[in-house]
Each structure stands twice: as structure tokens, then as C-alpha cells.
A and B are shown apart, each in its own frame.
Chain A
């Protein structure tokens, strides 16, 4: 690896994220990690589905879930998936400032999502006394949705570190894979959420 990878227009490869061996390794490594994450979330979903009727006399999902809030959260996260696609689009066009801008928007949308999720949890706990400890259903619900929320939080910290670290030095072949790999992770968070709003909230309302 040479130490200076800053990209000039004439040296810009069409896929800067996979132009070096390190980049290719990161790319595959994160994809494989997502393969493992699939099983991780499947185990959590399975546990939730096995316990979703075990309310032990406490509130059930049908009573407490509010679809309006979930819909707004869904829109925020889906849009953040699109904005990270925009960021990658600008990365491939070697337009660093626009990439940073769209990544920033992605982060804000993620933050909005996370805030609403925290609001939702607080609402359940204070208004319904529905907690992690109140029933097996409560444990399973908070664990599944909380694991996803934890992934969002981790993604936000990751994004922030990336953006600050690279704020002043522009795009190069060393950091392009890092940005790309982050966007893959962020899409995967969205994938998990699609199943959460379907399986937990919508199916919870159907009963």
C-alpha cells in the first residue's frame, strides 16, 4: 500500500471501495458478518414469536402498540437507507462534499428514529407499566427491538467517527471501503426493521 491514496479524477476507479485488497477484504468481511447477523436476529425473532402471547396478565401488543408512531419511524429509517444510497452515489462520482452531506442527513434520520424508539419505550413503561421484567412477552419484545435499536446506536457512533476522522482529508482508497461498508451495515439495519414492523407491530395488531 502506498501511503497516499488521495484520488484525482483521472485515477478514480469505478468502484473505489474494492480497488485495493484491503477494500475487497473489508467488503467481503462485512457481508459475511451480515450473514451471521441474519441468524442472530432470526434467533431473536424466533424467541419473540414463541413468547408473544406470554403476557402473564400484563398488557398485550394489541393493546399498546401505536401504528402511527411505528409508521413515522419506518419512514425515517427507509428514507435514511435512500440517503445513504445517495452518499454512495456521490462517492462513486468522487464528490466528497456531497457524500458527507448525504451521510450527515442519514445520521440525522437515524437519530430521529432512535429518539422516537426511546420515546416509545418510555411511553410503554410509564403509561402501561409494560417493562422488560413484567412478562416473558415484555422480555422478548424489549430484547428484539432493543437489539435493533442498539445496532442503530452503534451505526450512528460509527458514522460519526468516520465523518469526523475524514472531514478534512477527502476521499481516498483507504477510506472509501470504510464508507461503503458502513452503508451496507446501515441497509442491513433497515432490512431488520422491515421485519420488525411487519412481525412485531403489524402482526401484533392483527393478533
Chain B
């Protein structure tokens, strides 16, 4: 049952996994970078709040895109239905947010 001998896994496949992992590391570095910018933008108070809010929201969306497409492999094939349902969820989420933010206090 036990099998830890990884040397025998198809070497082509292994190479592919390795390259994939390299991309993941770049993704991670970018995500950390985006997080630093977001925190920096708020702490430094360099921008007026009118700009900083949309800016950090944009950074969050980009970072989440990385998370979905690279970490969760939504870029790979065989992810059509997951993408449909996630975008469906995002659409319903945006409507919900619009409702709760825009027309609650009127």
C-alpha cells in the first residue's frame, strides 16, 4: 500500500508539475505584493479615501482572481462548470451587495 517512491512517476508529468509549481510560487509572490500595497496604501495615508477604497477593492479582486485561477486551477481545462457556478455565484453576490448597500437606507 505504502508508496513514497516518487521517482517512478512519469517524468514528463513530473516536469509539468514542477513548472506548474513555479507558476504557483510566482502567483504567491504577487499576492503578497498586492497585500503589501493594499496595507501600505492605507497606512501611509498617501491617497485621499475616495481613491484608496476603490484601489484596495481592485487589488482584492485581482488577488482573488489569482487565487481562483492559479491556486484553485480554474484556468485548467475541465473547469467549465465550476467557472459557470462561481460566476453565477458572483453575479448573485453582486446583486445582493447592491441591494443591501444601495437601497437599505432609503
Q: How far is the CA of A95 from the CA of B28 in the complex (A)?
A: 22
1/0 contact string of B9-31 vs chain A (CB within 8 Å) = 11001101100110011001001
Size of interface on B: residues with Cβ below 8 Å to A: 58
Nearest CB in chain B to that of A185: its residue:
B72
A187-B82 Cα distance, complex, nearest whole Å:
14
Q: Bound state CA distance, A97 and B2, in angstroms?
A: 10
Identify whether the interface residues of B are mostly helix, strand, loop, or mixed. Answer: helix
B36 smallest CB distance to A (angstroms): 9
B82 partner, pick from A9, A31, A45, A207, beta carbons under 8 A: A31
A206 in contact with B97 (CB, 8 Å): no
CB distance B17 to A93 under 8 Å?
Answer: yes
| B-binding segment of A78-86, A123-131, A147-155, A156-164 | A78-86
A39-B93, A93-B6 known; A32-B60 Cβ under 8 A: no
Q: Is the CB of A195 within 8 A of B5?
A: no
In the assembled complex, how far is the CB of residue B28 from the closest CB belonging to chain A, in whole angstroms?
A: 5
CB distance from B16 to the nearest CB of A (A): 8
A133 within 8 A of B: no
On chain A, the residues within 8 Å of B105 by CB distance are: 50
Q: Which residues of chain B are near A112, meaning CB under 8 Å?
A: none
Which residue on A lies nearest to B43, using beta carbons? A67
Interface centre among A35, A37, A43 (most CB of B within 10 A): A35
Judge whether A89 is part of the interface by a CB distance below 8 angstroms: yes
Q: Which B53-102 residues have C-beta < 8 A from chain A? A: 53, 56-57, 59-60, 63-64, 67-68, 71-72, 78-79, 81-82, 85-86, 88-90, 92-94, 96-97, 99-101
A42 touches B39 (CB 8 A): no
Fill in one digit per residue for A1-45: 1 if any B CB lies within 8 Å of its CB, else 0.
000001111101010001000000000100110111111011101
Partner of B3, one of A38, A47, A96: A96
Chain A interface residues (CB < 8 Å from chain B): 6-10, 12, 14, 18, 28, 31-32, 34-39, 41-43, 45-47, 49-50, 67, 71, 74-75, 78, 81-82, 85-86, 89-90, 92-97, 169-172, 184, 187-188, 190-191, 194-195, 197-199, 202-203, 205-207
7 A-B residue pairs with CB within 8 Å: A14-B13, A38-B86, A38-B89, A85-B24, A188-B72, A194-B64, A203-B56
